[in-house]
Amino acid sequence: MATLNVELGDRSYPIIVGSGLLRDEALLTPYIVGEEVVVVTNETVAPLYLDQVTTSLKSRRLVCQVLPDGEQFKNFETLQSIFDMLLENRCSRSTTLIALGGGVVGDVVGFAAACYQRGVPFIQLPTTLLAQVDSAVGGKTAVNHPHGKNMIGAFHQPACVIADTGTLTTLDRRQLAAGIAEVIKYGLIRDPEFFAWLEENIESLLRFDDDALEFVILESCRHKAQVVANDEREAGERALLNLGHTFGHAIEAATGYNRWLHGEAVAVGMLMAATMSQKMGWLDLVAVERVRALLLRAGLPVIVPDKMSSSDFISHMTVDKKVLSGRIRLVLLKKIGDATLSSDYPDDVLAEVLAEFTR
Ligand code: NAD
Ligand code: GLY
């Protein structure tokens, strides 16, 4: 078991990583405020892992809610169903919410915790690689709006993150790859050695090798914890964590949030950002090909959905939280391991990239 900290003064919290942690009541206890605990999960994760968590919480007043599974349910209706359940069970302000699942459950439960009675504590128990390396850490919570991804949300830090790597054994290859996309992101934006390590070791990850998975979870969380500690509310550096996301969110929105996994959309988005960086004269072609090759080896998509046009991209990309004074801002790469947020790009370079990918 290894522990990292997200240093945020009196809101600091640990990220605990290891196998078999869901059964360990002693890990959860210090972070539970009051006697009421509400575990929210989804219909896929519940039969796999809910028992492990509830067994370790027997001594509490416990309520469980099982949500439908899918990004398309990361919406107001699901949020409302959580509020209904909390109120029907007379849950007080000292209730602790526990999010057991992937990034969708984590984001929506975190947002419910941020809003319920103006904020109750919550704990993240991430069960996908994507959630363990990214979404469970950092306190971004949200639901999607039909006009845009994660458009309605709040910053609300968890009390702790407990990443049981044993849960990753039930992920399928597609979900594993989606998590690897966010891992590759850390290499691209701030760690060229980590990117090179991934090039060397991607097959171990794809074989679900325990040591390789634990290494990338810890490295990714170390990066994320540093960025969040430096810039919790995304006034600057944190925006770099959105490499590929502006293009990717457009793909997710254009496909109705139900065909592409978030990590898959981010993968193509990162290649689009790398291509644009090359056209800006920053990245060389060899670097772009290294990005493409690693994504392909990870089993991630490198082409956009068939029917998406440049104007589909633009109309979705203009609904992005990084848009400033009407201008789309993009995370681009100066080199592998060095990213920058830019609004100062020629429009025809963006148009060229979109034309190339939607051809
Ligand atoms: P997800 O939550 O939809 O999980 C993917 C699939 O895996 C789902 O079908 C889920 O039920 C299933 N699953 C979860 N754990 C499992 C397990 N252990 N075994 C078998 N199946 C399991 O998707 P995700 O990729 O985890 O997260 C994507 C979401 O995270 C997106 O909504 C994205 O916007 C969000 N996100 C948020 C942040 C943030 O900082 N808050 C960062 C990155 C991504
Ligand atoms: N995944 C982007 C962020 O947490 O800022």
Active site annotation includes 252: no
Ligand 1 closest atom vs CA 49? 18
Q: Which of 60, 140, 185, 190 is catalytic?
A: 140
Contacts 24+ apart (CB under 8 A), 85-93: 85/38, 86/38, 86/112, 86/116, 89/36, 89/38, 89/63, 91/36, 91/38, 91/63, 91/116, 91/120, 92/34, 92/36, 92/117, 93/117, 93/120
pLDDT along the chain (359 residues), means of 10: 97 97 93 92 98 87 96 96 98 96 98 98 98 98 90 97 98 97 98 98 97 98 98 96 96 89 97 98 97 98 95 90 86 97 94 96
Query: Rounded CA gap, 12 and 14, in Å?
Result: 7
Helix residue ranges per DSSP H, the chain: 25-28, 51-55, 76-88, 103-115, 129-130, 173-190, 192-206, 210-230, 245-254, 262-279, 285-297, 310-317, 347-358
Three-state SS for 8? coil
| From 224, 230, 246, 341, mutation site for ligand 2 pocket: most ligand atoms within 8 A of C-beta | 224
Ligand nearest to the CA of 107: 1
State the pLDDT at residue 286: 97
Active site annotation includes 234: yes
State the pLDDT at residue 337: 98
Across the chain, which distance is largest between two alpha carbons, in Å?
62
Domain extent listing, the chain? 2-170, 173-358
Nearest Cα neighbor of 188 from 127, 128, 272, 262 is: 272
Looking at 3.40.50.300, 3.40.50.1970, 3.50.50.60, 3.40.50.800, the CATH number of the domain 2-170 comes to: 3.40.50.1970
Cβ of residue 249 lying under 6 Å from some atom of ligand 2: no
State the pLDDT at residue 171: 98
Nearest Cα neighbor of 269 from 287, 283, 249 is: 249
Query: Rounded CA gap, 129 and 121, in Å?
Result: 23
Q: Say which CATH topology domain 173-358 has.
A: Dehydroquinate synthase-like, alpha domain (1.20.1090)
Cβ of residue 238 lying under 6 Å from some atom of ligand 1: no
Phi, psi (rounded to 5 degrees) for 47: -65, -20
- Taking the alpha carbons at both ends of the chain, their separation in whole angstroms is 48
> Considering only CA atoms, which residue is closest to atom 11 of ligand 1?
44
By CB atoms closer than 10 A (0-12, 13-18, 19+), residue 258 is: exposed
Ligand 2 closest atom vs CA 138? 4
Q: Which of 149, 190, 223, 245 is catalytic?
A: 245
Active site annotation includes 140: yes
- The number of angstroms, rounded, from the C-alpha of 242 to the middle of its chain's C-alpha atoms is 10
Nearest Cα neighbor of 258 from 121, 75, 127 is: 75
Query: Given strand 96-101, what is the order of strands in its sheet?
Result: 2-6, 13-18, 160-164, 122-126, 96-101, 36-42, 61-67
State the pLDDT at residue 60: 83
Phi, psi (rounded to 5 degrees) for 341: -95, 125
- The number of angstroms, rounded, from the C-alpha of 326 to the middle of its chain's C-alpha atoms is 26
* Tens-place pLDDT, residues 256-303: 888 899 999 999 999 999 999 999 999 999 999 999 999 999 999 999
Q: Which of 249, 279, 316, 321 is catalytic?
A: 249
Global pTM exceeds 0.85: yes
Structure tokens, 145: 């709006």
State the pLDDT at residue 9: 98
